[in-house]
């Protein structure tokens, strides 16, 4: 089973990397782009035989302990 974790900054948290990307896109002529938020995607290969609820619980634990800074970041988990 595969898990994909999308980590992004919570609303209201400043995103200097997103601001830099937005400014650069504007300078390159992409004026239709407004605000940009930058995040990360983490792909995990989980052991076969793990049921979906157990996988969800384990990946949530991974996010809470390591993959996301839950003070300033939010995360979403996709299982495939």
Q: Report how far Cα 52 is from the mean position of its chain's Cα atoms.
A: 20
Residue 52 pLDDT: 95
pTM: predicted TM-score of the whole model, two decimal places:
0.89
CB 78 within 8 A of CB 16: no
CB atoms within 10 A of CB 68: 21
Instruction: Calculate the average pLDDT of the chain.
Output: 97
Residue 42 pLDDT: 98
CA distance 2 to 5: 10
* 25 dihedral zone (left: phi>0; alpha: psi -120 to 50; beta): alpha
Q: Could you give all domains of the chain from N- to C-terminal order, each with its CATH number? A: 2-79 (3.30.1280.10)
37-48 confidence digits (pLDDT tens): 999 999 999 998
Residue 50 pLDDT: 92
Residue 59 pLDDT: 98
User: CA 63, 59, 44 angle in degrees (round to 5)?
Assistant: 100
């Amino acid at each position: 089973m595969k898990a994909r974790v999308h980590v992004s900054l919570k609303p209201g948290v400043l995103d200097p990397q997103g601001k830099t990307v937005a400014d650069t896109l504007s300078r390159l002529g992409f004026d239709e782009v407004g605000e940009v938020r930058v995040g990360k995607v983490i792909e995990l290969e989980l052991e076969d035989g793990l049921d979906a609820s157990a996988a969800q619980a384990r990946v949530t634990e991974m996010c809470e302990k390591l993959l996301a800074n839950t003070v300033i970041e939010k995360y979403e988990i996709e299982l495939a």
